[in-house]
């Protein structure tokens, strides 16, 4: 008994150390820094007394619009990514045949190019004299160039594009695990293709949908590069504010406080989402 | 004070791939932007935008691709013996600079003259450099620091005082640079290049000849205006327009500047880190911009013009510093001295397009640069320029308001 | 209503064909399944029986041919519009729904009232003896219970025809026997047509009113279990249904109700009552239980003469007992004839006990020796219809 328990402990050790070194410890450091003060040249000072003053600053209403922006982009990105990924993943799983592996590699292919370069490519497409406006004007759909770059549209587009593989892969895995005969059974039991999807395939792939949503929403809420490159003056996100607090303002304690709150909100949101969904799935 | 920082590896790949001219500042954004531009622009043109000139088709004259012997990682060799104050340089020297911010043969000439082997590395962003030197063990001897940061870097022990006896070429400096406000008597830094921050606009889009900062607040250009994503510069634009000092620490003055910027924000397309790209692409018609960047944008879009607003503008400069913990201080200071040599300094200016503080170099500088008011504004214009100063703890007043500006609805 | 439909077959397949890329899975199958019968599609794996069933259910679209249910052509109708339900091979229960909801699934899609659903699901669960397990999750049921849920789920919709795709295939022997009995009971109780796919001939013989034996996408023989057992049309059917001895030979002489056949080994044996003309090659099928063993004088000596005579009823094979196996109901012997032919014999009379090596004579009634039709090699008959398909 004792030995079994010891062995279990030994097996858990690498995982727990990993979590500690790469999650708990940095989080603790962020939290401690967030209690400190900024010194004149950008250092974090902890010996002048610790306080929650930075958290009070973080809760100022002036940050609400960026939080709202972040939530807006992350939500829109997640919905779009799931909406686009599901049919793709479904098609690969059901009709990919022997080419499934190849198709999945194609999904991952954009990752072989630097993410920044791919995002810049969207700039070329979206700007006033860009490809998209060129097409719109050439086909007579618009006369003057539309302002596409530096807008909410561009940010959501760029994020959706960037996070698509993160939603396709978990969806593919969960769709591929659904026994086709279960869908056939639904058809046999008087379901149209749409009803079979709604009552069987979708509930059975819900874990994949949740995984894909989390894998899209969480990075999207922390993304500052896309809003920075494709966004404009009106698209500041909370992550961008944090990033500029760390890098250009060198106000680490305040940045740490905002960052800690963001992580906290993400963790609480994720855990409660999973709780609710698990309760629902198990019934 | 750049904001984004893709990896050096990405940058190196981009440079190799695109052979794009990289300017002194914000080189990453620029490189990536122009690089992608260069690749995709022909396709864009083919897709029905043929009417617009392809902005990336001709490389900027100021910046032909430069062979980079040591781009990428460099590991300093084992430390040599503790230097003693004698003019015999150490065998090696480690220099850390922006890419394309030096003459073509300057390093080779220095190596030949002093028999020192120079390892010359680029940093992708200013933040990368400051992060790397922050712990005092970067292994680099000399780097290039914006003048406003010099006092802070010294107070934080990042740079060490210069031995002016090793830098006789200091005598070449113009009088105003021999005793600058940020560093009296050049005790910790030697000026390298200077520039101005003003307004660039596309004369094909903007009617008349604008002369004021107010053009950046003109609702007629809504959606095509951009400010720099740099809070000191952007607040300076508002403060100067209001008639205040660009270095004010007065809360009322700063609040007034914030209000002015908040009023401007809905008109803006973006706070840009890439003023060249914003202008060259045609998305932005009036842009808060650095002079040398405006000049690069002109190379791609010839209708771009640059002016120093009549209310006044900003002048900034970069300095060369001897880093704390430098293992090769003699060679480092001989290098700084070498950079102040009249002909070397002129070669650097001729290559980069930036004016140096070097009075003696003027005779060797390309007349087209000397006569370009963008790069070398006249006495009257210079008299109206302000230099950004280190504000110590009061800097937070700027940043707090900047965060509010960016975060606000 | 029921009576009126008697004239029209419950299901009629006309030239039903399914081609999967290179494989011709079902090849011009014509079948009529009668109302209320227990009909089996029997054959080895890959013979096309499951594909045929799926085309009846609408889960597979035929390449050509038609499916009619009670005279209506449903070939183009999707599965949800056909009055049939399927019990799937691995049950295909909905893992996210409990037993009640699994069974109620089809009723909910047909918008039955709540009370109606509760009543009918209850009835269906009672029919398959699962009352009380309503809230169980399928993954917490045994294989047999899952099978019953699948059955209830299909039956609750009161289909005209129930299609069963190897429903007992995943169960162990004992459970299978038990459920066979129950299936038969249920079919009698609900009185609807069952179309049952299996590769297990014993199961098919036990359960079915009629059986279609399939091979290589075609129906080899259609008939009642007795017909298939007693009068297999060809070597394939004879071999597939039960155990049989197949002897190749040539008719030597034919008299009124007797004939003599010379086997490939040179031995003579009794031929069928109605044999082809002398000189014709024949394949004889003789069931092991139709052969009588007689002790030969000489005890354990090796049989050496070919025995029998070509001119009379005395013709019989001789051989030695090579192996014996006690089966409870009888003893199975394998006899090696003098010429070397192996023959399986089933003796049900306990009196006849032989030891290994005993010399015996094998005898059978002429009527027990069936003449098989020349065997089509798989694909040979199909070749006519396969113009562009590759040979399997």
Domain borders along chain C are 2-237+380-391, 243-372
| B402 shares a domain with B253 | yes
Mutate to test the interface with A, among C51, C77, C83, C105 (most CBs of A within 10 A): C105
- Pairing assessment for the beta strands B286-290 and C72-73 based on DSSP bridges: unpaired
Which helix (H) or strand (E) is B192 found in, with range? strand B190-202
A235/A228 Cα distance (integer angstroms): 8
B261/B252 Cα distance (integer angstroms): 14
Query: Per the CB < 8 Å rule, is B265 touching A116?
Result: no
Cα-Cα-Cα-Cα torsion B265, B266, B268, B273, nearest 10 degrees, comes to: 50
Query: Is B276 contained in some domain?
Result: yes
Note the pLDDT of residue A42: 63
A262/A257 Cα distance (integer angstroms): 9
Contact present, B and A (at least 3 Cβ pairs less than 8 Å): yes
Residue B349 belongs to domain with CATH number: 3.40.190.10
Reported as a single tens digit per residue, the pLDDT across C150-202 is 999 999 999 999 999 999 988 888 999 999 999 999 999 999 999 999 999 99
| B205 shares a domain with B124 | no
Alpha-carbon gap: A79 to the closest alpha carbon of chain C (Å): 24
Query: Per the CB < 8 Å rule, is A190 touching C95?
Result: no
Note the pLDDT of residue A281: 58
Beta bridge partners of C293: C362
Query: Per the CB < 8 Å rule, is A199 touching C105?
Result: yes
Nearest to A104 by CA among A96, A112, A114, A115: A96
Q: What is the DSSP letter of C133?
A: -
Strands (E) in chain C, as ranges, are 11-20, 23-33, 38-42, 64-69, 72-73, 84-87, 161-165, 193-198, 210-215, 218-223, 245-254, 259-263, 268-270, 281-286, 292-295, 317-326, 331-337, 342-347, 359-363, 370-371
Nearest by CB to residue A121, choosing from B5, B36, B408, is B36
A94/C294 Cα distance (integer angstroms): 64
Does C85 touch chain A if contact means CB atoms closer than 8 Å? yes
Burial (CB count <10 Å: 0-12, 13-18, 19+), residue C111 = exposed
| B211 shares a domain with B335 | no
Query: Per the CB < 8 Å rule, is C85 touching A199?
Result: no
B326/B319 Cα distance (integer angstroms): 17
Query: Per the CB < 8 Å rule, is C58 touching A179?
Result: no
From chain A, the residues in CB contact with C94 under 8 A are 182, 185-186, 200, 204
CB C42 within 8 A of CB C212: yes
Q: Which stretches of C40-113 are DSSP H helices?
A: 49-57, 99-109
| B295 shares a domain with B153 | no
Does C106 touch chain A if contact means CB atoms closer than 8 Å? yes
Note the pLDDT of residue B3: 37
Query: Is B8 contained in some domain?
Result: no
Chain C nearest-CA residue for A280:
C96
Query: Is B38 contained in some domain?
Result: no
| B332 shares a domain with B296 | no
Q: What is the DSSP letter of C200?
A: -
Structure tokens at C143: 């294989």
Q: Tens digit of pLDDT per residue, chain B (409 long)?
A: 333 344 444 444 444 333 333 444 444 333 333 333 333 333 333 343 333 333 333 333 333 333 333 333 333 443 444 444 457 899 999 999 988 789 999 999 999 999 999 999 988 778 778 878 887 788 999 999 999 889 889 988 899 999 999 999 999 999 989 998 889 999 999 999 999 999 999 999 999 999 999 999 999 999 999 999 889 999 999 999 999 999 999 999 999 999 999 999 999 999 988 888 899 999 999 999 988 888 889 889 999 999 999 999 999 999 999 999 999 999 999 999 999 999 999 999 998 888 999 999 999 999 988 988 888 888 888 889 998 888 888 888 998 899 889 888 6
What is the number of domains present in chain B?
Answer: 2
Do domains C2-237+380-391 and C243-372 share one topology? The answer is no
CB A118 within 8 A of CB A112: no
- Give the pLDDT mean for C211-229: 94
From chain A, the residues in CB contact with C85 under 8 A are 188-189
Does C146 touch chain A if contact means CB atoms closer than 8 Å? no
Query: Is B76 contained in some domain?
Result: no
Chain A nearest-CA residue for C86:
A188
Domain A65-282 of CATH type 1.10.3720.10: yes
| B306 shares a domain with B201 | yes
Strands (E) in C2-99, as ranges, are 11-20, 23-33, 38-42, 64-69, 72-73, 84-87
B117/B80 Cα distance (integer angstroms): 13
- Give the pLDDT mean for C213-230: 94
CATH entry, C243-372, from 3.30.413.10, 3.30.70.100, 3.90.190.20, 2.40.50.140: 2.40.50.140
CB count in 10 Å sphere of residue B199: 24
Exposed e or buried b for every residue in A176-187, given b needs 16+ CB within 10 A? bebeebbbbbbb
Chain B nearest-CA residue for A147:
B223
Chain A nearest-CA residue for C87:
A185
Q: Residue B292 contacts by C-beta under 8 Å, 6 or more apart in sequence?
A: B23, B24, B62, B195, B352, B353, B354, B375
Reported as a single tens digit per residue, the pLDDT across C15-70 is 999 999 889 999 999 999 999 999 999 999 999 999 999 999 999 999 999 999 99
Chain C nearest-CA residue for A206:
C96
- Give the pLDDT mean for A84-103: 93
From chain C, the residues in CB contact with A279 under 8 A are none
Which domain range does residue B149 map to?
92-194+316-377
Structure tokens at C165: 């795709």
From chain A, the residues in CB contact with C197 under 8 A are none
Alpha-carbon gap: A95 to the closest alpha carbon of chain C (Å): 14
Note the pLDDT of residue B51: 36
Contact present, A and C (at least 3 Cβ pairs less than 8 Å): yes
Nearest by CB to residue B270, choosing from A128, A233, A249, is A233
Mean pLDDT of chain C: 85
| B242 shares a domain with B311 | yes
pLDDT at C302 over 60: no
Alpha-carbon gap: A115 to the closest alpha carbon of chain B (Å): 9
Q: Residue B302 contacts by C-beta under 8 Å, 6 or more apart in sequence?
A: none
From chain B, the residues in CB contact with A229 under 8 A are 4
Q: Which long-range contacts (CB under 8 A, 24 or more apart) does B349-352 make?
A: B349/B193, B350/B103, B351/B62, B351/B102, B351/B103, B351/B104, B352/B24, B352/B62, B352/B63, B352/B100, B352/B101, B352/B102, B352/B103, B352/B193, B352/B292
Does C144 touch chain A if contact means CB atoms closer than 8 Å? no
CB B94 within 8 A of CB B76: yes
Which helix (H) or strand (E) is C120 found in, with range? helix C114-127
Reported as a single tens digit per residue, the pLDDT across A142-200 is 988 999 999 999 999 999 999 999 999 999 999 999 999 999 999 999 999 999 999 99
B100/B24 Cα distance (integer angstroms): 7
The vertex-C68 CA angle with C64 and C71, nearest 5°, equals 145
C1/B244 Cα distance (integer angstroms): 100
ipTM of the modeled complex: 0.84
Structure tokens at B176: 């105003």
Note the pLDDT of residue B204: 95
| B235 shares a domain with B149 | no
Note the pLDDT of residue C266: 80
| B222 shares a domain with B174 | no
| Beta-carbon contacts below 8 Å between A and B | 142
From chain A, the residues in CB contact with B283 under 8 A are 127-129, 149-150
Q: Residue A148 contacts by C-beta under 8 Å, 6 or more apart in sequence?
A: A126, A127, A130, A132, A133, A154
Alpha-carbon gap: A148 to the closest alpha carbon of chain B (Å): 10
pLDDT > 70: percent of chain A: 95
| B370 shares a domain with B400 | no
Query: Per the CB < 8 Å rule, is A121 touching B40?
Result: yes
Nearest by CB to residue A190, choosing from C93, C95, C109, is C109
Note the pLDDT of residue C351: 66
Nearest to B186 by CA among B162, B215, B153, B152: B162
Query: Per the CB < 8 Å rule, is C79 touching A203?
Result: no
CB B268 within 8 A of CB A233: yes
pLDDT at C2 over 60: no
Mutate to test the interface with C, among A97, A177, A190 (most CBs of C within 10 A): A190
A215/A166 Cα distance (integer angstroms): 6
Nearest to A278 by CA among A197, A182, A206: A206
| B279 shares a domain with B151 | no
- CA distances, A192 to each of A70, B194, C74, C104, C153 (Å): 39, 73, 16, 16, 17
Among chain A, residues having any CB pair with chain C shorter than 8 Å are: 179, 181-182, 184-193, 195, 199-200, 203-204, 281, 283
Domain C2-237+380-391 of CATH type 3.30.70.330: no
Other chains touching A, judged by 3 or more CB pairs under 8 Å = B, C
CB count in 10 Å sphere of residue B150: 24
DSSP B207-249: -S---SGGGGG-GGGTTSEEEES-HHHHHHHHHHHTT--TT--
A161/B400 Cα distance (integer angstroms): 33
| B276 shares a domain with B165 | no
Query: Is B361 contained in some domain?
Result: yes
Q: Residue B124 contacts by C-beta under 8 Å, 6 or more apart in sequence?
A: B5, B6, B7, B8, B11, B27, B28
* C325 confidence band (pLDDT: 50, 70, 90): confident
Query: Per the CB < 8 Å rule, is A117 touching B392?
Result: no
Q: Residue A25 contacts by C-beta under 8 Å, 6 or more apart in sequence?
A: none
Structure tokens at A169: 């892969």
pLDDT at C387 over 50: no
């Amino acid at each position: 008994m004792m030995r079994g328990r010891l062995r279990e402990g030994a097996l858990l050790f690498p995982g727990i150390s990993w979590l500690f070194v790469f999650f708990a410890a940095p989080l603790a450091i962020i939290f401690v820094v967030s209690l400190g003060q900024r010194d004149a040249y950008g250092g974090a000072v902890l010996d002048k007394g610790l306080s929650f003053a930075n958290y009070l600053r973080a809760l100022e209403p002036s940050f609400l619009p960026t939080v709202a922006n972040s939530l807006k982009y992350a939500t829109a990105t997640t919905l779009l990514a799931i909406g686009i990924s599901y049919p793709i993943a479904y098609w690969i799983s059901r009709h990919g045949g022997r080419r499934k592996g190849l198709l999945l590699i194609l999904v991952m292919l954009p990752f072989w190019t630097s993410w920044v370069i791919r995002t810049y490519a969207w700039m070329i497409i979206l700007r006033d004299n860009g490809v998209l406006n060129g097409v719109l004007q050439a086909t007579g759909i618009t006369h003057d160039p539309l302002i596409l770059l530096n807008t909410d549209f561009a940010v959501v587009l760029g994020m959706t594009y960037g996070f698509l593989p993160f939603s396709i892969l978990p969806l593919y895995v969960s769709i591929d695990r659904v026994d086709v005969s279960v869908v056939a059974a639904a058809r046999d039991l008087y379901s149209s293709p749409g009803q079979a999807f709604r009552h069987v395939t979708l509930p059975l792939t819900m874990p994949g949908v949740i995984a894909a949503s989390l894998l899209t929403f969480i990075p999207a809420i922390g993304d500052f590069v896309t809003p920075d490159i494709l966004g404009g003056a009106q698209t500041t996100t909370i992550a961008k504010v944090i990033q500029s607090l760390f890098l250009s303002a060198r106000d680490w304690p305040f940045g740490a406080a905002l960052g800690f709150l963001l992580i906290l909100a993400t963790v609480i949101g994720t855990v409660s989402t999973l709780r609710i969904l698990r309760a629902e799935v198990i019934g | 004070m750049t904001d984004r920082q893709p990896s050096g590896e990405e940058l190196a790949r981009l440079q190799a791939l695109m052979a794009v001219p990289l300017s002194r500042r914000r080189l990453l954004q620029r490189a990536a932007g122009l690089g992608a531009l260069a690749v995709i622009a022909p396709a864009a043109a083919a897709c029905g935008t043929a009417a617009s000139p392809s902005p990336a088709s001709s490389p900027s004259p100021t910046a032909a691709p430069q062979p980079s012997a040591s781009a990428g990682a460099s590991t300093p060799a084992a430390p040599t013996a503790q230097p003693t104050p004698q003019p015999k340089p150490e065998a090696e020297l480690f220099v850390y600079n922006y890419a394309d911010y030096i003459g073509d043969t300057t390093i080779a000439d220095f190596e030949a003259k002093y028999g020192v082997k120079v390892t010359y590395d680029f940093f992708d962003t200013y933040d990368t450099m400051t992060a790397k030197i922050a712990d005092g063990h970067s292994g680099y001897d000399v780097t290039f620091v914006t003048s406003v940061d010099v006092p802070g870097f010294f107070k934080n022990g990042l740079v060490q005082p210069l031995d002016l006896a090793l830098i006789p070429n200091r005598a070449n400096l113009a009088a105003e640079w021999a005793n600058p406000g940020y560093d009296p008597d050049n005790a910790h830094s030697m000026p390298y290049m200077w520039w101005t921050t003003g307004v660039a606009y596309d004369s094909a889009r903007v009617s008349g000849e604008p002369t004021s900062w107010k053009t950046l607040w003109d609702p007629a250009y809504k959606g095509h205006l951009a400010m720099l994503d740099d809070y000191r510069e952007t607040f300076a634009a508002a403060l100067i327009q209001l008639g205040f000092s660009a270095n004010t620490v007065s809360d009322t003055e700063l609040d007034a500047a914030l209000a002015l910027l908040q009023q401007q924000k809905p008109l803006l397309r973006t706070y840009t880190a890439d003023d060249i790209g914003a202008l060259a692409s045609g998305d932005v018609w009036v842009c808060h911009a650095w002079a040398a960047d405006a000049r690069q944008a002109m190379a791609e879009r010839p209708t771009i013009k640059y002016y120093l607003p009549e209310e006044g503008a900003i002048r900034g400069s970069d300095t060369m510093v001897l880093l704390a913990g430098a293992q090769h201080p003699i060679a480092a200071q001989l290098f700084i001295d070498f950079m102040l040599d009249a002909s070397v300094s002129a070669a650097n200016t001729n290559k980069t397009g930036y004016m140096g503080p070097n009075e003696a170099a003027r005779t060797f500088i390309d007349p087209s640069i000397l006569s370009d008011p963008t790069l070398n504004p006249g006495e009257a214009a210079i008299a109206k320029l302000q230099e950004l100063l280190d504000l110590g703890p009061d800097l937070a007043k700027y940043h707090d308001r900047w965060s509010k500006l960016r975060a606000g609805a | 209503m029921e009576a009126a439909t008697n004239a029209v077959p419950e299901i009629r397949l006309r030239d039903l064909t399914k081609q999967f890329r290179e494989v011709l899975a079902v090849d011009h199958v014509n079948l009529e399944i009668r109302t209320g019968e227990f009909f089996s599609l029997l054959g080895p794996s890959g013979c096309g029986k499951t594909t045929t069933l799926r085309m009846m259910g609408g889960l597979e679209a035929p390449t050509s041919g038609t499916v009619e249910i009670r005279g209506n052509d449903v070939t183009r109708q999707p599965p949800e519009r056909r009055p049939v339900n399927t019990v799937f091979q691995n049950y295909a229960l909905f893992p996210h729904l409990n037993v009640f909801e699994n069974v109620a699934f089809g009723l909910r899609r047909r918008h039955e009232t709540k009370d109606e659903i509760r009543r009918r699901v209850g009835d269906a669960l009672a029919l398959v003896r699962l009352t009380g397990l309503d809230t169980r999750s399928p993954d917490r049921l045994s294989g047999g219970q899952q099978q019953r849920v699948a059955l209830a789920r299909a039956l609750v919709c009161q289909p005209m025809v129930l299609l069963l795709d190897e429903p007992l295939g995943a169960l162990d022997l004992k459970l299978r026997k038990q459920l066979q009995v129950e299936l038969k009971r249920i079919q009698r109780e609900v009185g609807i047509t069952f179309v049952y796919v299996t590769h297990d001939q014993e199961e098919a013989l036990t359960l079915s009113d009629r059986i279609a034996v399939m091979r290589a996408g075609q129906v080899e023989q259609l008939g009642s279990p007795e017909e298939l057992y007693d009068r297999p049309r060809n070597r394939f059917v004879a071999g597939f249904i039960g155990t049989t001895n197949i002897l190749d030979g040539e008719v030597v002489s034919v008299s009124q109700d007797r004939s003599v056949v010379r086997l490939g080994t040179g031995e003579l044996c009794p031929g069928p009552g109605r044999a082809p003309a002398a000189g014709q090659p024949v394949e004889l099928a003789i069931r092991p239980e139709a052969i009588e063993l007689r002790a030969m004088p000489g005890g354990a000596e090796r049989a050496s003469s070919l025995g029998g005579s070509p001119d009379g009823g005395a013709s019989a094979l001789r051989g030695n007992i090579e192996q014996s196996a006690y089966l409870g109901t009888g003893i199975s012997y394998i006899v090696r004839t003098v010429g070397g032919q192996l023959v399986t014999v089933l003796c049900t009379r306990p009196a006849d006990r032989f030891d290994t090596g005993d010399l015996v004579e094998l005898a059978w009634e002429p009527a027990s020796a069936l003449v098989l039709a020349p065997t089509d090699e798989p694909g040979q008959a199909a070749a006519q219809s396969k113009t562009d398909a590759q040979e399997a």
